[in-house]
Structure 1
Amino acid sequence: MARALLDLAAQAAPGNLNPYLTHHLAGHVATARAWSLLESMPSVLDRLAPDTVATEVLAGVFGRSSLPVGVAATAGEAHLLSVTPSADRSLVRNLASLRFAGRMATPPGTTEGVWCVLWGELPGRPLHFVLSGHRGEVTDVVPLVTADRGTLLASASADATIRIWDPMTLRQIGPPIVGHTAEVRSLGVLPTEDGGTLLVSTSADRTIRVWDPLAGRQLRCDPMPSEQFFLPHVRMLNLPGSRPLMALTDLRTVRLWDPHTGRVVGRPLKGHTGMVTDIVAATLPDGRTVVATSCLNDDILLWEWDGRELRRTTRLMRRVRLRHDSGVTSLVVIVLPEGVYLASLSGSVVRSWELPHGRPAGKSDVISEGVGLEPKGRLTLVRPPDGNPLLILAATGGGRLLEPRPVIPVGQPLNGHTGAVTSACALELDATRALAVTGGVDHTVRLWNLSRTSVPGDVPSLHERRGWTEDAAIIPTLDGRGRLAIAHVPHAVRQFDLDSGELAGPFLPIMAECLAVLPEHGDGMPRLAVADRSTHRIVLWDPGTGRETGRLRYEGSGPITAMVGIAGEHGSPLLVTACSAERGLIRVWDTESGEEHGPPLVGHHAHIREFAVAERRGLAILASVCNDGALRLWGPREGVTGPILNSAESPVLSVTAVPRTWDQRAALVSTGADGTLRVWDPVSCRETTGAVGPAAGRDSRTAVVHVPHGGTALAVAGRGILELWDPLTGTFLHAVPCPPASSGFLLRSHGAQLAIVGGRGVTVLKLQDSAHNLRIDPGARRPRDRRLIDLWAVRKPPDGMLDRLIRGH
């Protein structure tokens, strides 16, 4: 049956697949276990409903057996593919395949869509599922066991809502639960006497609310019984002889609160000198119950429960202090056959203690340096079906599974979030499977397999094999293919063939901080200017032979922040540089003599972050952006200081030069702090289109790509979206989800190829022939003002500047 339905789907015309096949073919494939057959038909896979593929994978295969790469990529990126047209899904699927398995599911050139992936090296990540819907940071996640619908998942967010999810269908149940007027900080699960389950939430609006989670109805609302602060993640304590209690805190005090009555139980626990961060309870083999509390500024304190309140008794004559070198952010109780232990997290160190004595149990364990820990770091205990406990670490640098004794990382890092992991919990689907759940600042909740082993086929990231990427540049080659030069720290500059990703040419044995390609006037390969990271001197290299061809006579006084090459008046290339130690100063160098070409250009009042060069009939206009947001123009050959284009109310973050073909003019495209794009005529100094707001937002990067069969488009990448715009008219053309290699990425282009280079990876895309349907009209709109030098004249440039600027026009 599954094979027959797959053949039927393969014969359907694009965009005309039977709705039954769209939503139910994945179920037939799962029943027949024909996932490999489905992967062999990528055009069919891309037309199925991605959420149904993910649901079938989660229900039957995830955590039990391996999957074909293409199917795993479709399931893992279902949240993105669901909002992507079927023609463009191959791009998202291939990018996910590179992360999950280190190879593409579909060879380049055999896919539909505007873009295709030529090659890439991205950080590996395990297959997982994403729940999206929150509009703010996910602050807490808890499992919710119900009598009618099994195990559900509840998540709290800074958007002041609570959402209930069905983990088996990856869908939200009902509308968001609303009522809080500020960030929901934490959640607690409250069992009822009749076998039901309630949800307790605390919020920055200083209230505690009790909810019926399935009905979304608020049952009670009480004011916070503390005067200052409370736990970022509230703990529900099940103490002998008492109903479940909630632990709350102000700056130095812990209070136990009964969510049924809304009253404080017992006396406050005092003794800490700073913000209390966590509280846990442990039942000892002799029947006693001990409670541990931790603090950012102090130690761990142990308390004993006497059946009514926590206090010092005759059996525990003193508070036991477990000393830490820094503040403790999280506590976990671990029950093992050999005893009961307390695990504490402080900075990047996990310590284990024997209870109730508080003696250290073994040596301290330092978590790997790849996981940076801040006060948000938290530990959660989970017991997989094999019965051996694991710790889930949620921290600023990502998530990780840890063995509790000794504390060592196991499996793959849980590195799917695009920011800090703020919360974690364990979710038992059935008697044979349990999942790890994490929430992050990227507004998502993610489900992970609890595995102590890495998935076969995982590859180390580009960062692990070659070092951190500092800068990148594309070098045109004589055959027109181009090479991508990447500066890896602490290694060397390596060159990759832009089409295949293979190493091309010799590597340059220098640790670089900045790269720039020099425009050569001869028939040879352009040279590469490299700023040495250790000495801050600038060296010129022949990328074809790997030999040094010259040095600039510049005594480096600080890191080079920006460089760009321009053609000289008599053929000798010039290099423009900016140094962080020379605030706002621009130097122009003659690369043949190594001497400075005229006096420095002065005008900026902050560090310069980026250059772009717009050329028109031999005139080179330099655009610079500095940290104060000013976009300024210069005549670098003539030593001319030009005007500032933007106003102080619209600071600029980056600038890109876009060639125009209809009158041989160039344009400048700037991205602003307000999240807009603006197009400028660098000669008339006027804005040629109104501000447009790409979805990529203020953190976007831009580059120029050539559309097959004519035309130029502006590629804008940011916030996980890759957009195409017409730079002449400011018209939106196309968009597709495209997660970057990492934060702080770079965008480099060569013809129809686009390289997205991040600190931890690189992806090279290419515009396919189908991109000519974007209908870029090079004559669609001309600048509003055709005058060449009006604003330069109005701003009273130095004598003779206008003659130098329009020379050759």
Structure 2
Amino acid sequence: MQFELDRDHAFAARIQALLAGEEDPEFVDEPPVKRSNWSWILGGAAVLLIVGMAAAAVLAYPRANRAETPTVAASPSPSPFGPTWKIAANVDVKANDIKFDRQYGDLFATANTDGTITLFKVGRKSRLARFDSTMGAMTSGAQDLKSLDFSADGKRLVAGGMRGSVEIWNLDTGKLVTKPFGAGRMGVINGVSFAPDRQSVATASADGTVRLWNPYNGQQIGEPITTAPEGSEYKVAATAVQFSPNGKVLATLSDDGSVAFFDAESHERIRQADSPSTTVGTIGDELVYRPDGRVVATVSASGLHMWDARTGKTLKAAKTDSIGAFAFRPDGKMLACASIAGPVRLYDPATLAPVGNPPPGEFRFVDAMSFSPTGKYLAAAETDGSVRIWST
């Protein structure tokens, strides 16, 4: 990944050294400075750019104020998975979502309740970067971010949350691609998805709509999509949305547990999936395409459900403990599920039979899970503010 800072090429080179794990003796303690629109935290030093001025000033934040580093916890018992890594040392900071990037394989980001996004690299004990769209702005409080997604090339991040605004960040520059947009139009944003071709992003929101946006200028694309079943007497919140792997279809999940499929270009409803009672009262509010695009899965208070994405017909349904988060391994041959109070379990998606040993460790409520692109790593974000990484 490249972090390009045109105003200071020498400084950019030092950033590259930090990302490579090298120590940088040129970073020195300086007095705190007023923060502006964004900050990077690299190897414990926060690099603050004072924007909006004729010349940008780059200062190192005091080491005494640097973020705490995570600790390594030993696995409580032998397992095919590696040790548990606790990434977030501050238990008051909670991540609502976690995603591995789709390009590099060992970078992942978390969307946090304090309105920030943090970027991590597996094996590095401090965060690589922190993004904050409200830093230095006159606001009534940070946006509680609920969902995020990487672009297919790993160069951009989209996030949305409680305020109903969408943020898109350029990871090469550390800057917003465009000003946050969408606030006031649709209520809380429950889910976001980047199109595979990177030309649009989709949002699922509390007003019961899915909307598509131009990720480069923030303009809405076409009319909003109403996700509730046709003929429904009530408006229900859209809780999740995901592009199909080929980008041609949008799969949506509503608060009543209904799943629908829409043409991503025309926004026309293609089909409505079966609506079995097992999906009513969805707790996880999560919908995931199997990597081959043929199956869509959701979780609910009463179990796990899978549909044929081409017909909308039920394929599998299994009653399990209430599931808070789940993720397909990229090869589609493993499904990881985290119950509300209990261990992370691994299933064969074809049979929904348990496979392997559960990843070790004690768990509270898990909000989100993600496999790395190669399937080597599995990440889970818990309500205690920790992120656990296992290696397969």
- With the shorter chain as reference, the TM-score category is 0.5 to 0.7
Distance 2:164 2:200 in 1: 20
What is the root-mean-square deviation in Å for CA atoms of aligned residues? 4.1
- Establish whether residue 655 from structure 1 lines up as the match of residue 319 from structure 2: no
- Establish whether residue 641 from structure 1 lines up as the match of residue 320 from structure 2: no
One of 253, 265, 286 as aligned partner of 1:578: 253
Q: Deviations over 1:215-252 (max 9, x none)?
A: xxxxxxxxxxxxxxxxxxxxxxxxxxxxxxxxxxxxxx
One of 85, 105, 127 as aligned partner of 1:117: 127
Distance 1:624 1:595 in 2: 22
Task: Specify the SS of the correspondent of 1:615.
Answer: coil
Between Structure 1 and Structure 2, whose CA radius of gyration is higher?
Answer: 1
- Establish whether residue 683 from structure 1 lines up as the match of residue 350 from structure 2: yes
Which residue pairs with 2:213 in the alignment?
A: 541
For residue 656 of structure 1, what is the amino acid of its counterpart? A
One of 63, 71, 76 as aligned partner of 2:64: 71
One of 378, 381, 390 as aligned partner of 1:714: 378
TM-score by length of 2: 0.60
Give aligned pairs, total.
287
Q: Deviations over 1:62-81 (max 9, x none)?
A: xxxxxx8323558xx69x76
Alignment of 1:506-517 (within 5 A): 507-511=180-184, 512=186, 513-517=189-193
Alignment of 1:218-367 (within 5 A): none
Alignment of 1:604-643 (within 5 A): 604-608=278-282, 609-616=285-292, 619-626=293-300, 628-643=301-316
1:699 Cα offset (Å): 3.2
1:624 Cα offset (Å): 0.5
- Establish whether residue 493 from structure 1 lines up as the match of residue 166 from structure 2: yes
1:676 Cα offset (Å): 0.7
- Establish whether residue 502 from structure 1 lines up as the match of residue 175 from structure 2: yes
For residue 538 of structure 1, what is the amino acid of its counterpart? V
For residue 378 of structure 2, what is the amino acid of its counterpart? L
Distance 2:271 2:171 in 1: 36
* Greater share of residues in helix: 1
* Higher RCO by CA contacts (8 Å cutoff, separation 6 or greater): 2
1:600 Cα offset (Å): 3.3
Q: Do the aligned residues in 2 keep the contact of 1:646 with 1:652 (CA within 8 Å)?
A: no
- Establish whether residue 471 from structure 1 lines up as the match of residue 138 from structure 2: no
1:641 Cα offset (Å): 0.5
Seen in structure 2, the aligned counterparts of structure 1 residues 638 and 485 have a Cα distance that, compared at 3 Å, is same
Which residue pairs with 1:724 in the alignment?
A: 389
- Establish whether residue 482 from structure 1 lines up as the match of residue 155 from structure 2: yes
Seen in structure 2, the aligned counterparts of structure 1 residues 595 and 656 have a Cα distance that, compared at 3 Å, is same
Q: Deviations over 1:140-173 (max 9, x none)?
A: xxxxxxxxxxxxxxxxxxxxxxxxxxxxxxxxxx
1:538 Cα offset (Å): 2.3
Q: Do the aligned residues in 2 keep the contact of 1:705 with 1:712 (CA within 8 Å)?
A: yes
1:611 Cα offset (Å): 1.0
Distance 1:713 1:484 in 2: 20
1:701 Cα offset (Å): 2.9
Distance 1:703 1:71 in 2: 33
Identity across the alignment (%): 16
Q: Deviations over 1:82-109 (max 9, x none)?
A: 989xxx999869x99xxxxxxxxxxx99
Q: Deviations over 1:535-561 (max 9, x none)?
A: 433221121243322235527612212
1:496 Cα offset (Å): 1.3
Which residue pairs with 2:103 in the alignment?
A: none
- Structure 1 unpaired stretches of 5+: 1-34, 38-44, 46-67, 97-107, 124-458, 728-809
TM-score by length of 1: 0.31
Distance 2:274 2:140 in 1: 41
Seen in structure 2, the aligned counterparts of structure 1 residues 89 and 532 have a Cα distance that, compared at 3 Å, is closer
- Establish whether residue 561 from structure 1 lines up as the match of residue 225 from structure 2: no
Q: Deviations over 1:346-400 (max 9, x none)?
A: xxxxxxxxxxxxxxxxxxxxxxxxxxxxxxxxxxxxxxxxxxxxxxxxxxxxxxx
Distance 1:541 1:112 in 2: 31
Q: Deviations over 1:151-199 (max 9, x none)?
A: xxxxxxxxxxxxxxxxxxxxxxxxxxxxxxxxxxxxxxxxxxxxxxxxx
- Structure 2 unpaired stretches of 5+: 1-27, 31-43, 45-60, 75-84, 94-118, 229-234
Q: Do the aligned residues in 2 keep the contact of 1:121 with 1:461 (CA within 8 Å)?
A: no
